Structure 1
Amino acid sequence: MSGLDLDRLVAIDVHVHAHRPVDDHPAGDEAVLKGMAEYFRTEHTDGYTVPEIAAYYRERNMAAVVFTVDSGGKDPVPSNEEVARLAAEHADVLVPFVSVDPARGPDGVKTLRRLVAEHPVRGVKFHPGSQAFYPNDPIAYPLYEVIAEHGLIALFHTGHTGVGAGTPGGGGIRLKYGNPMYVDDVAVDFPGMKIILAHPSFPWQDEALSVALHKPDVYIDLSGWSPKYFPPQLVQYANTLLKHKVLFGTDFPMITPERWLSDLDKIGIREEVKPLLLKENAARLLGLP
């Protein structure tokens, strides 16, 4: 299933965005990218193509879960097909996820089934804020049925978001959709389906910890925030009760692995937990050999 050499890898980043297609067209919604770069205080405003992401992570002996985001009624840029196809060409370092907006309805379900049939897809990325839906809305359940049927992973953005931050009306993004407690219903209704709650879930960190602690197939990725900003209870649970369910993630290119790992050393994560957090938990969740 995978060309990854786990012995060679020092880490698996489970949250990496492909923002630019390979055909020299502009990145998807450059204004949003510029705003996010300002929010994250980074100069990476142009985005990366999938081959550029592969080269970046290969140079660092890391692997990455890579995806685009389908939202707002427009086809994602780059497309799901491009991300999945090119990730397969770089299977030594990349694991492809796809993204389907639940608002696409039956056509979205058909699209997901086709993507899964044609490409080595390992999961599906949802951004409830950008896609304007509660994760427990029945509109999304036909997609979850496909995910569960094929043993894939459902990755949900949770908590605050840099998308639209600081723009008038937050760019139309409603933060309420990011409460991880709505994902608890999904975990109940689809037992056995693997779920990742993406990001420290500010302002609902305790809700995310509770859901992950209570539901055996719910994990937390630590992307989108520098570790130095992690709330104390997240560090506490990552070190103890949830040490097998926390995952290294950056939100690259908005946060680089170097910045993330440098700050990780400052927050008191136990040495015996770091191998789990950085690689072993993700390898097990992704079903890597």
Structure 2
Amino acid sequence: MTTIYDGHCHVASTHFVPQAFVEDVAGNVHSKLSARGASPSVARIARSYVDQHQDHLADGLVAEMDAAGIARAVLLVPDFSLRMPGSVPPSEAARLHHEIRQRHPDRFWVYIGVDPRRGPEGVRAFAQMVDEYALDGVKLYPPCGYSPSDPDLYPYYEICAALSLPVFVHTGPTAASLDYEPADPIKIDRAARDFPQVDFVLGHAGLTHVDTGGYLAAYRPNVYLDIGGFASTPTLRSWPEHLNRLFRAGINHKIIFGTDWPLGRMGGGLKRLTDEILHGPTVFSGVSRTDQRLILRDNLLRVLAPGSRPAPHPAAAPRKGAADVAG
């Protein structure tokens, strides 16, 4: 069986999910359920969501990865802290994720969130975090209110170009109180042109805005698609059939497998998903073994390989790194 790497995961912890985000999710679930009849209250749904986000050290995630045959995963850390009160700032999130990596060696890569509105001090803080914790990439969340081609992000991209760090960009809908217009994948096009040395991964673009994401991936050498959340996207009637159509579109060299765990955690977990993908009749029907390996492993490794490095040793000597690029 092909070794699987998951390019889109989160730690299921209320340390990293602001209460406002929880309330938005609960409100959407309540709206959907109440349209079909009786629904639990928004407060009850929110409590259930919080209960599912108590895996603070990622022990539950690692257990699910082991059961599903997932060797390693990318942990994405959005920066909500300028938009949603109570959010953990990036420096604290980076420290906590470093502790998780020490607890589970060789199981995770970490992409830390940045926000262009933090100014030069934000760039310096990012450079310090990259050096201190050997971070593997950047996570952008444009629905917080900025374009991924904002010129104020370019100093971050310069660091990424120098250190071969990928940039993961959320696209498509999210919490109801956030902005959807900046989350159109076409918004990355200017930055992708200006920074051809940086690989940009469009989160969820294999599920929403598929036409736009698909042609960007086909014609921009440094743009990739992510399929995170495929089993929980409410607009797909059959995710196996959708993925099979996507995998027949001629861009399998640019598609990265991701689950968006813990999304869909209550529906059977990671093992159910990998069983359906690897052994079900639909997802990989007519898809070559070579392309399967590209999607499940090799594309992510190609994005990570130039900058991938082991987690730092606590006594590691100082080295030239992101702080030197940031000046």
Give the TM bin, normalised by the shorter chain.
0.7 to 0.9
Percent of residue pairs bearing the same amino acid type:
25
2:205 and 2:270 map into 1 onto residues whose CA distance is 16
Does structure 1 retain, via aligned residues, the 8 Å contact 2:207–2:230? no
What's the Cα RMSD here? 3.0
Q: Aligned residue for 2:189? A: 184
Q: 1:31 to 1:19 in 2, by over 3 A?
A: farther
Does structure 1 retain, via aligned residues, the 8 Å contact 2:64–2:270? no
Counting only pairs closer than 5 Å after superposition, residues 80-159 of structure 1 correspond to structure 2 as 80-129=94-143, 131-159=144-172
1:170-202 deviations in whole A, cap 9, x for unaligned? 22x111111111111111000121110111366
2:208 and 2:302 map into 1 onto residues whose CA distance is 29
RCO comparison, higher one (Cα < 8 Å, 6+): 2
Q: 1:286 to 1:44 in 2, by over 3 A?
A: farther
Asked if residue 214 in structure 1 is aligned to residue 219 in structure 2, the reply is yes
Q: Unpaired segments of 5 or more residues in structure 2?
A: 34-44, 310-327
2:274 and 2:67 map into 1 onto residues whose CA distance is 16
TM-score with structure 1 setting the length: 0.80
Q: Using the TM superposition, give the Cα deviation of residue 229 of structure 1 relative to its aligned residue in structure 2, in angstroms.
A: 3.7
Does structure 1 retain, via aligned residues, the 8 Å contact 2:77–2:110? no
TM-score with structure 2 setting the length: 0.72
Q: Using the TM superposition, give the Cα deviation of residue 115 of structure 1 relative to its aligned residue in structure 2, in angstroms.
A: 1.0
1:199 and 1:231 map into 2 onto residues whose CA distance is 16
Structure showing greater radius of gyration is 2
1:225 and 1:186 map into 2 onto residues whose CA distance is 26
Asked if residue 56 in structure 1 is aligned to residue 79 in structure 2, the reply is no
SS of the equivalent of 1:182 reads helix
Q: Aligned residue for 2:11? A: 18
More helix by share: 2
Q: Aligned residue for 2:199? A: 194
Counting only pairs closer than 5 Å after superposition, residues 274-289 of structure 1 correspond to structure 2 as 274-287=292-305
Q: Size of the alignment, in residue pairs?
A: 268
Q: Aligned residue for 1:3? A: none
Equivalent residue in structure 1 for 2:230, among 225, 230, 233? 225
Q: 1:249 to 1:202 in 2, by over 3 A?
A: closer
Does structure 2 retain, via aligned residues, the 8 Å contact 1:84–1:97? no
Q: Using the TM superposition, give the Cα deviation of residue 262 of structure 1 relative to its aligned residue in structure 2, in angstroms.
A: 4.8
Q: Using the TM superposition, give the Cα deviation of residue 207 of structure 1 relative to its aligned residue in structure 2, in angstroms.
A: 0.8
Counting only pairs closer than 5 Å after superposition, residues 35-54 of structure 1 correspond to structure 2 as 35-36=24-25, 39=29, 45=50, 46-47=52-53, 48-52=55-59, 53-54=61-62
Letter in 1 for 2:69: N
1:76-110 deviations in whole A, cap 9, x for unaligned? 48612211342244232111211112221112101
1:34 and 1:13 map into 2 onto residues whose CA distance is 27
SS of the equivalent of 1:244 reads helix
Q: Aligned residue for 1:5? A: none
